[in-house]
Chain A
């Protein structure tokens, strides 16, 4: 009988899923991800979470609850850092315990301790330790990890080319632009944590809404690493949050290159990282003076109507500005 491992569709699932998925499948496990967010499911999970948590964490509670009775193990990595400079939000570091203590009757958790910065247990070491405990040989593990790594590289490459990879985000597919209003394509850069950007339940399918409104999307994944590093160096202070660094680097890159017409920052209520990065991005926008900026904050009570109205208004402003510029 093959053991099944459940992966909640939450947090860094949206970045590292290809790796995790391939890794476990190669090792012969049956990987089950939680269902795509549904209102009833998510709200049931919210009841278990403390109200001081941010929504992405509450979503993790909900998705974990959804998997509770279906799998033998739950994979909740304790993500602290993946390189020597940056770390992740501390909430993800305490997630395994938070889940364990709040939701009764969970299957055993697999919580590899991923901390490259202080303990030198990077992704490979921590995952292989975990798999060794599950009774796999180190040769198998190495092979599986290499495959996973390749899948992740491919995923990154496709993301960089502006594709929403079908296996992850099958609901959002890039459509050819058949109709271009006034001969213009709106170029919109969109930044935020991966779990804000790519979770269609969280952001009311914002990416699809934007694409349907004939916007070409530019994301933080499209920027080469060297460019990102040079932008941060120019900025002067090393940003120590991995996603914060990416967001700021991408925003500054798009602002400086004048490649885009508008910049959207998608954030969630009570996010500590965004509360520090957003003012910096806003400051950059003010200094730049040409790019339009919209900061969208989502909380439990955000209604799709109000949210999408703001997006539409923003898109119209972008369009009008472009038209004005063309006319005179």
Chain B
């Protein structure tokens, strides 16, 4: 079995580390590129959302590389991600690919996945202890990746030579991915921190703080949002985003009581504006700007794929939130016709606005 999954944040580092220790074999799609998107756009139905197109492109490229099993989440609505599996399977089979599809929904979780995973583990010859250790190592790796990235978000607006932090980040991720046990992971952590310390900084700058919120796939994947975080960082803005793999998993497992920025708290914060949780990231998208405003963030950017049903609701309501909480929100509704100029122009204007706002606040 050669399993593949779509790119989503650091999921490839997590699963890659797992698979090296306890199997099964993974064939990851190549890094999402322009080719991925063109393949996705070519074979997708026209009016599907952007994540569909990226993920379909990922699958095509992974199948070309020899993957024979696809694992993909499924759902029972109301977001259309739950229907991805049927439509994608049809498209890929029409293209002549042969594969097994594992639709991971939340029904019969135990019998479908845990038992299956257990069987795979036995075939691979790994003990339960080894599996648990591998799970812990992989989890730590992802945690470390995210910690490094959070630090990068703080450093990037201060860097003196443009692009230095981004280069350091790429090296760090490679180091972390290469670590094969806890000792190596600790060492790579030290090295990473050292690398980031070496980036030349200008401590006199006080960067603006901006939050990136919106639909999960668009927020977490740099390829989907046109490297929004890097762009903003290089404009001298400190960014953070709402969607992290670990935060998402702890939320799903109800283990996020102590996280001050947990999704649960965001949903609670959105209550006055949207009475009921309507699913997806809609409520969190509304709640996060309110939470982060209290932490001193000065603006928010909402990312949504064109035609997203849930985020369109959030977008409507965010205009009100923006007014009442005095936090400017810029909404980007993105589709495959991305133009760099459009993005930089709009970001530039938004940053100007924030700067003006800050000056006004200082003077009066």
Contact = CB atoms under 8 A, between A and B. Distances in A.
Contacts of B279: 90
Nearest to B86: A237
A98 interface: yes
Nearest to A96: B275
A275 interface: yes
A40 interface: no
B312 interface: yes
B174 interface: no
B352 to A, nearest CB: 23
Contact of B282 (A90, A236, A241, A278): A90
B13 interface: no
Interface stretch (B4-12, B41-49, B112-120): B41-49
13 contacts: A52-B306, A52-B316, A78-B276, A97-B274, A101-B317, A101-B319, A101-B320, A237-B86, A239-B83, A240-B83, A270-B47, A272-B308, A274-B47
A21 B27 CA distance: 58
B275 to A, nearest CB: 7
Determine which residue in A49, A237, A275 has the highest number of CB atoms from chain B within 10 A of its CB, and name it.
Answer: A275
Contacts of A272: 49, 79-80, 307-309
A276 interface: yes
Contact of A50 (B91, B307, B312): B312
B45 A89 contact: no
Nearest to B46: A275
A52 B82 contact: no
A283 B95 CA distance: 13
B80 A52 contact: no
Interface in B56-87: 76-80, 82-87
B307 A89 contact: no
A89 B78 contact: yes
A280 interface: yes
Contact of A52 (B83, B86, B312): B312
Provide the main secondary structure of the chain A interface: mixed
Contact of A270 (B77, B85, B306): B306
Nearest to B45: A279
Q: Give the interface size class of chain B.
A: 35 or more
A175 B90 CA distance: 41
Interface string A298-310: 0000000000000
Interface string A64-81: 000000000000001010
Contact of B77 (A50, A113, A240): A240
Interface of A: 49-50, 52-54, 78, 80, 86-91, 93-94, 97-98, 101-102, 113, 236-241, 269-280, 282-283, 297
B319 A87 contact: no
Question: 3 tightest A-B contacts by CB?
Answer: A94-B313, A240-B77, A270-B307
A273 B87 CA distance: 12
Contacts of B97: none
Nearest to A100: B320
Nearest to A283: B90
A245 to B, nearest CB: 10
Contact of B78 (A49, A54, A90, A282): A90
A52 B333 contact: yes
A283 B83 CA distance: 15
Contacts of B275: 97, 113
A50 B278 contact: no
Contacts of B152: none
Interface string B301-327: 000101111111101110110000000
B278 A276 contact: no
A6 to B, nearest CB: 21
B273 interface: yes
A130 to B, nearest CB: 14
A241 B78 contact: yes
A103 B86 CA distance: 39
B316 A269 contact: no
A52 B90 contact: no
B76 A240 contact: yes
A87 B306 CA distance: 22
A276 B56 CA distance: 14
A91 B282 CA distance: 11
Contact of A275 (B276, B307, B311): B307
B207 interface: no
B25 to A, nearest CB: 28
Contacts of B280: 90
Contacts of A102: 316, 319
Given A50-B319, A52-B304, A94 B47 contact: no
A280 B79 CA distance: 17
B317 A98 contact: yes
Given A113-B276, A239-B83, A94 B90 contact: no
Contact of B49 (A93, A113, A275, A297): A275
Nearest to A278: B45
A97 B58 CA distance: 37
A280 B317 contact: no
Contacts of A278: 45, 47
A101 B313 CA distance: 11
Nearest to B78: A90
Contacts of A283: 90, 94
Contacts of A276: 48, 80, 83-84, 86-87
A49 B315 CA distance: 11
Contact of A91 (B49, B274, B276, B313): B313
Contacts of A93: 78, 276, 278, 313
Contacts of A98: 313, 316-317
A310 B15 CA distance: 50
